[in-house]
Each structure stands twice: as C-alpha cells, then as structure tokens.
Amino acid sequence: MKRSRLPIGIQTFREIREEGCYYVDKTAYIRRLLDEGKHYFLSRPRRFGKSLFLDTCKELFEGNEALFEGLAIHDAWDWSVRHPVVRFDFGRGHFADPGAVKERVAEQLADIERRSGITAEGTTPDGRLAFLLEALHERSGRRVAVLVDEYDKPMLDALEVPEVARANRDSLRGLYAVIKSSDAHVRFSFLTGVSKFSKVSLFSGLNNLLDITLSPRYSSICGYTDADIDTVFAPELGGLDRDAIREWYNGYWWLGEERVYNPFDILLLFQERLFKSWWFETGTPAFLVETLFERRVSSVALGEMMGSASLLSAFDVDDIATEALLFQTGYLTIREEQQRGGRISYRLGYPNREVRQSLNESLLGYLVRNPSRQEANSIRLYDLLEANDFDGLRTLFHAFYASIPYEWYTGNDIARYEGYYASVFYSYFAGLGLDITVEDSTSRGRLDMAVRFNGNVYLFELKVVEMAGEGAALTQLKARGYAEKYRALGEPIHLVGAEFSRDTRNIVRFQVERA
C-alpha cells in the first residue's frame, strides 16, 4: 500500500508512526540488545538512521504502546513498565569554538532537570548527571535508559582545531564515565556516532561498552536491505530500474548476511525519481579531501585498501588512520573479510556508484580549482570515448593536466610519482560513473586500468619517463598480453599507452593500438 509520506529528514519515531509514513521495523533489534546485554556502542556514517533508532528506544522505554502496534517488539514487551529516559543529543550546534561543548552539555542537563522536576545537586556536569540518574531511579522505582546521539560530533567539528578537539574530548570523557559509575541506576545505555574514538582517549571510564559496529548480527540495525526495498517500499518502485538502484546506492557492509542502502539516498530517489548523489551532496568535508592529498593517497588506491578491525576502529584527535577515516565516514566500506591464521583483515572499497563517482569528482575539484573547466573536460571525455576519437582523447588528456594550476605544485613533489598521474586519469573516468577496473591482475602482471564502455574495452598503461619517444607503456601492454583476459567478451579491445614527463607534468607520448 502506498503511504502518504516518505520520512525524509524525520528523526522522530512518533511523527513517522502518527503521520502514516513508511517505516522499516527495527524494533526486533532493540529486543535482542536488551536480552543480550546492557551497554552498547554503534558507529555508522551520517544519515543512516541512528537518531531515529535512538528515538524509537526512547518511546519504547517510556511505554508508548500505541506507536508500536503491529511492530515486532509489541507482543514481546511489558507495557505496564515505564523507565525514565536521559537522552543527550550533540547533533545540534557546532563545536569548533572553545567552551561550546560545555554550554551544550549544561543546556541538556538543565532541560532534563526541568522536564523531570528534579534539581540536581553539584556544579559539575558529571556530578549533575550522577545525581539525576540516582534520583530518577529512586523516584520511579525503575532504572534509567541513557541514550547518547552523535556522541563524537564535538570532536569531529573541531578536528581542524586540535586543541579545541582535545578539550572537547576531555570534557566528555568524565560525562560518559558516569554511565559506568552509576551502573546500579542504569537499565540500558546506547551511544551512537560516526566515528569510534579509542577507549583509551574517550571511553577509559566506560570500558564495559559492547561495540556492535562490526557484529554480523547487528549489521542491518540501521539502513535498508534489498528485502526492505522490495517489500516496505514496493509501491514506490514503479518506473525505476531496480538494478540501477542497487548499482547506485547499495553496498554498505558490516559483515552481516546482507549489504545495506543509506536510507537518505533511497527516500530522495523515491521522491525525486532521479538517480543522483543525494547522500554525498549533503556534506563531504573539505577536511577529508585535503587529508587524502596531504597523505598522498592515490584515488586509484582507494578501492583496494586493507585494514584490520583494530585499525578501522582506531580514531583519535591526534591519530586518524586514513583507512579508519574513510571507513567510519562511509566513503569506503568492507568489500571482503580475509583470515590469515589467527589474523582477520578487511579489504575496503567504494560502497557503490554514488560514492565512487562523487568522491572522485571532489578529488578532481581540489586539483583543478575550476569547476567549469572540470565539467567541460568530463563531458568531452564521454563524447570522445563514445566516438572512439583517440586523437581527440590525446588532446583532452593533455588538457586534464594542463588544467591544474601551477601554484598547486609549489613545494609539492607529488608530480614525480606515477600514482599522481594515475589518480587524475582514473578520477576523470570514475567521475563519469564508467565501468572501471584498476590494477587488474593477470598471470603476467597488473594492468593499470581497464574501462568497458559502449561495447568496447580500453586497456590503459601509464608510465612516468625521463624523455619522450620510449614507447614503454604500449610495449608493456603488448608484451604482457593483457588483452587476452578480455578476448572472451567478444568486444573490440584498444591498448592505450600514456607516458608522462616529470618536468612538464604532462603527457609526452600517447599511443593506441587495436589488440
């Protein structure tokens, strides 16, 4: 049955239920959490439904039965029991200014005191919270549910001002430690955020938290599955290509049976009936792109990063691993779990077309600094590939590198590395959403890049050379027989060798042969 509203931007469970919005039932997960433990932590990228899940927990503990009619938990819950709820939300406000986090904590404590009618004793945030938890327990006879939404935002907002980020972290450490020290008064606690700050830095006083971020049993606690799309949202699928929905938006994986979609993408797609980078465009931080360039992370390498569970959860103000940053913020996801002896590692990659295409456009934008020229180059690339105009491609590839301002190279020796040229090359193709395979392994080596488009296969080899005229790139393509792997496709195969000069920072040789 087609619903009256899509819950776009709605994080309030009551509004979704009372207004007849579509709702994917996550309440069975709440029952499981309560049956299996007490203190939990969950990390998920932004706009994945964390706030809605916490609000659902709030309504459940407060005993608002009418909202849960027909849901999985309804018949498994004692509606005669009501628990006090203490909820902190750091989603509102910006915390890059000194003292902002203390003001926000004080405001929320005052609001809890006002609504509960309890005036807390003590002057520190930690003391006030401890008093409130004990007083609420004593007055109601029921232990308290403590919910913390976007616990990490005060640190993330201030990453470019490390001294403020550290001060925010230290302010919150004591507040979160109260949850453990007040354990006798707490029925359930759940903290959510984008990142996983290390226990040493932030959770040293709350070391009994169970992190369910990579628990296969909770992998779909936020987000939509294919089954959700095909059942709950079945009335919205008419006129949309189902395979395209998967290609564009599915792919996030936290080790469970299914990969999931970001809800924000799906809801905007159903409303606008248009495939677009809905989630990505809501806020990709400049900090992320700048960090990738500062660390010389090739865009080609982004699709094949490796990380252990400890590395992916290691995050602190002064120590942010590139893999952890990209994974926790949702720009990479786990593509494969690998076990070597007693060690588990994860191969990371782009979750879907939306992220791969949009992130590469952003990386190019950082280099080119001229959106109009970048857009013109991208459009021209598509048209030339469609026409198999290789002379035009050579001229366009030269324009790719010429469009990067000279000032960008000042004090930067990145142009000496092959990975730099490959990154620019790859990002233009990836930004078009084409079918690309990078560093494709064969029995005789690794091909730099393969592109399938419009019934053709293009095999690229890129090299940095001291002088023009060597023809090493094309020679390698032929000598290693890279085309053989693709002959079974029955499509025309084009070998493209491109060579670059460190001095001119541009193409000095461009050769194409039909394989």
Q: Taking residues 400-404, what's their average pLDDT?
A: 86
What confidence score (pLDDT) does residue 415 get?
A: 59
Cα–Cα distance measured from residue 77 to residue 81, given in angstroms and rounded to the nearest whole number: 9
What confidence score (pLDDT) does residue 412 get?
A: 64
Neighbours of 100 (CB within 10 A): 19
Clarify whether residues 336 and 400 are in a common domain. no
Query: Domain of 454: which CATH number?
Result: 3.40.1350
Clarify whether residues 336 and 388 are in a common domain. no
Clarify whether residues 304 and 375 are in a common domain. no
What confidence score (pLDDT) does residue 402 get?
A: 87
Q: What is the pLDDT of residues 434-446, one digit of tens each?
A: 999 988 777 778 8
Q: Which residue has the higher pLDDT, 352 or 464?
A: 352
pLDDT value at 307 more than 80: yes
Helix H or strand E encompassing 175: helix 162-181
Give the DSSP letter of residue 491. S
Helix H or strand E encompassing 455: none
Clarify whether residues 174 and 30 are in a common domain. yes
Clarify whether residues 193 and 293 are in a common domain. no
pLDDT value at 417 more than 70: no
What confidence score (pLDDT) does residue 196 get?
A: 81
Is 358 contained in some domain? no
Cα–Cα distance measured from residue 375 to residue 352, given in angstroms and rounded to the nearest whole number: 22
Question: How many domains is the chain built from?
Answer: 3
Clarify whether residues 186 and 84 are in a common domain. yes
Clarify whether residues 79 and 213 are in a common domain. yes
Question: Is residue 470 a contact partner of residue 435, using CB atoms and an 8 Å limit?
Answer: no
Give the DSSP letter of residue 425. H
Domain that holds residue 210: 25-218
Clarify whether residues 305 and 397 are in a common domain. no
Question: Is residue 242 a contact partner of residue 261, using CB atoms and an 8 Å limit?
Answer: no
Share of the chain above pLDDT 90, in %: 72
What confidence score (pLDDT) does residue 204 get?
A: 64
Q: What is the pLDDT of residues 130-163, one digit of tens each?
A: 999 999 999 999 999 999 999 999 999 998 899 9
Is 263 contained in some domain? no
Q: Taking residues 338-366, what's their average pLDDT?
A: 92
Is 3 contained in some domain? no
Is 457 contained in some domain? yes
What confidence score (pLDDT) does residue 411 get?
A: 59
Is 236 contained in some domain? no
Phi, psi angle pair for 285, to nearest 5°: -70, 140
Cα–Cα distance measured from residue 56 to residue 61, given in angstroms and rounded to the nearest whole number: 9
What confidence score (pLDDT) does residue 239 get?
A: 97
Q: What is the pLDDT of residues 14-62, one digit of tens each?
A: 999 999 999 999 999 999 999 999 999 999 999 999 999 999 999 999 9
Q: Per the structure block, which two tokens stand in for 271?
A: 């409303």
Clarify whether residues 333 and 375 are in a common domain. no
Q: What is the pLDDT of residues 68-117, one digit of tens each?
A: 999 999 999 999 999 999 999 999 889 999 999 999 999 999 999 999 99
Least confident of 2-6, 38-42, 111-115, 222-226: 2-6
Q: Which residue has the higher pLDDT, 469 or 515?
A: 515
Q: Which of 175, 201, 218 is the last residue of a domain?
A: 218
Clarify whether residues 122 and 182 are in a common domain. yes
pLDDT value at 198 more than 70: no
Q: How confident is the model at residue 469 (pLDDT cuts 50, 70, 90)?
A: low
Neighbours of 373 (CB within 10 A): 14
What confidence score (pLDDT) does residue 123 get?
A: 81
Clarify whether residues 333 and 425 are in a common domain. no
| Helix, strand or coil, per DSSP, at residue 335 | strand
pLDDT value at 419 more than 90: no
Is 106 contained in some domain? yes
What confidence score (pLDDT) does residue 427 get?
A: 93
Q: Which of 320, 349, 378 is the last residue of a domain?
A: 349
Cα–Cα distance measured from residue 77 to residue 62, given in angstroms and rounded to the nearest whole number: 12
What confidence score (pLDDT) does residue 280 get?
A: 94
pLDDT value at 230 more than 80: yes
- Whole-number mean pLDDT of the chain? 91
Is 508 contained in some domain? yes
What confidence score (pLDDT) does residue 120 get?
A: 83
Q: Which of 177, 202, 218 is the last residue of a domain?
A: 218
Q: How confident is the model at residue 6 (pLDDT cuts 50, 70, 90)?
A: very high
Question: Is residue 232 a contact partner of residue 24, using CB atoms and an 8 Å limit?
Answer: yes
Is 139 contained in some domain? yes
pLDDT value at 451 more than 90: yes
Query: Domain of 153: which CATH number?
Result: 3.40.50
Q: Per the structure block, which two tokens stand in for 451?
A: 């592109």
pTM of the model: 0.92
Q: Per the structure block, which two tokens stand in for 232?
A: 């709950």
Q: What is the pLDDT of residues 481-506, one digit of tens each?
A: 999 999 999 999 999 999 998 888 89
What confidence score (pLDDT) does residue 413 get?
A: 64
Clarify whether residues 392 and 300 are in a common domain. no
Q: Taking residues 273-302, what's their average pLDDT?
A: 88
